[in-house]
Structure 1
Amino acid sequence: MTGMFPATSMPDRDWWEALWPDPSGLLLSLGVEPSMTALDLCCGDGYFTAPLAKIVSGRVYALDLDPEMIVAAKAEVKHLGVSVLKWIVADAGDVAELIPEKIDFALIANTFHGVPDQPALVKAVARTLKPRGLFALVNWHQLPREHTTVLGQPRGPRAEMRMSPEAVAAVVEAAGFRLLRVVDLPPYHYGAVFEHKG
C-alpha cells in the first residue's frame, strides 16, 4: 500500500498541545517504562516520539511513511535533547522486517482507524514484540465529529471511521494479544493496551 492511510493526515501542532499538554504522562499511563525498548509506529511529527525517547533514554525506533514527517520528528527529538535508535521511512506493514531486535512496547496513535488492512498490521507489530510486550493504540472515542472540537473546530476522523475499544480488541486479540486495560485519555480519546501472548 502506498500513500497516507485514510483520514490520518497530521494536524497542526497547536491542537495536539491543546488535546494533550502532557504527552509524557499519557505515555506513562499506557505502560511504557524507562527500561523498555519502544517503537513509535506512524510517528508523524514526533509529538509522542520525543517524549517517548526521553522516557526510554533513546531506545526507540520511529517509523513513518512520509519523509517530511520524519524530518519534523527529528527536529522535535533534537529540541528535547534526546535521540532515537533508528528513523525509518517505510510502510507500517513492513515494520517487522525493518527493526533489528524484538522490542517491549509499540505505540500507534490516531492512525489505526485509517489502516486499510488492520489484521496484517497487527500481525506485523506482533512479530516485532517480545513475549509479553505491550501494544498501545490511541484512538478517538466514538463521538460525532461535531462533538470533538479542538480550538473551536470539529476535529478527528469521520464518525463512521471511529472504532470502539471492543472493535479494536476484536482485531488485535485475533493476532495473539490479550487486552490488559482501556485508559481514558480526556477529552476525546482512549488508549487500549494489549499484551503479546507469544
Structure 2
Amino acid sequence: MTGTFPATSMPDRDWWEVLWPEPSGLLLSLGIEPGMTALDLCCGDGYFTAPLAKIVGGHVYGLDLDPEMIAAAKAEVKRRGVSVLEWIVADAGEVAELVPEKIDFVLMANTFHGVPDKPALIKVVARVLKPRGLFALVNWHQRPREQTTVLGKPRGPGTEMRMSPEAVVAVLEANGFQLLRMVDLPPYHYGAVFEHRE
C-alpha cells in the first residue's frame, strides 16, 4: 500500500472553495466535536486540517505522503492561526505505527476511492482509533465525471473509480465498522461516518 493512491492528487484550492466555502460546517456535520483528538489522513494542502484543528483546539494530526502538500498544509494552518499536534510525512498504511496515541476521529476526504487495498487500510485505521472511535469518509457520488463540473470543467476521479454509498458501507462493515450516518454534501459528495466496533 505504498505510493500515491490513484486519482487522488490535490486539486487547485479555488475549486474546493467553490464546492465547500464553509469546511467547518461540513466537518461538524460528520460528527467532529470540540475535545476530540483527530487525524486528517491524506490531508493534502490542509483545506480540512486547519478548520479541523480549530474545532478540536489543535488536537489533530495531519498525514500525507507528499512533503510539498504537508508544507502547504503547515502554511494554511499558520495562516488560520491554529496549530496541530504533529505533521507526518508517510504512507497512509503506516499510520498505526506513527500516531503515538489512540484517537477519536479519522477523516479521509476524496481519497478512499483510490486505495488499492481498502480492507488493509481500514484495519490500519481501526488500530489508530479508540473503541467506538469514528472514521469519516468524504466521497464523490457515483455520477459520470462529465456531470460533476466545477468552474466549468469536469472534476474528480474517473467515473469507474467512484464508489456508491452502498459499496463503501459494504467494505467498512466487513472490516469491523458500523455505519452511523450518511450525510449529503452537495453538490457532488456524500459523507459516510462509521464507528469502530471491534
Please state which band the TM-score falls in when normalised by the shorter chain. Answer: over 0.9
**Paired position in structure 1 for 2:10:** 10
Q: Structure 1 residue runs of 4+, over 6 Å off? A: none
Residues 14-63 of structure 1: CA deviation (Å, up to 9, x unaligned)? 00000000000000000000010000000000000000000000000000
**Paired position in structure 2 for 1:191:** 191
> Within 5 A, what are the aligned runs for 1:1-198?
1-198=1-198
CA distance in 2: counterparts of 1:142 and 1:173, whole angstroms: 19
Q: Scaled by the length of structure 2, what TM-score is found? A: 0.99
Shift in Å, 1:4: 1.4
CA distance in 1: counterparts of 2:96 and 2:173, whole angstroms: 18
CA distance in 1: counterparts of 2:101 and 2:108, whole angstroms: 18
Residues 137-185 of structure 1: CA deviation (Å, up to 9, x unaligned)? 0000000001100000000001110001110111111221100111000
Q: Scaled by the length of structure 1, what TM-score is found? A: 0.99
Give the aligned length. Answer: 198
Shift in Å, 1:117: 0.8
Shift in Å, 1:3: 2.6
Shift in Å, 1:118: 0.7
Shift in Å, 1:69: 0.2
CA distance in 2: counterparts of 1:3 and 1:122, whole angstroms: 17
CA RMSD of aligned residues (A): 0.6
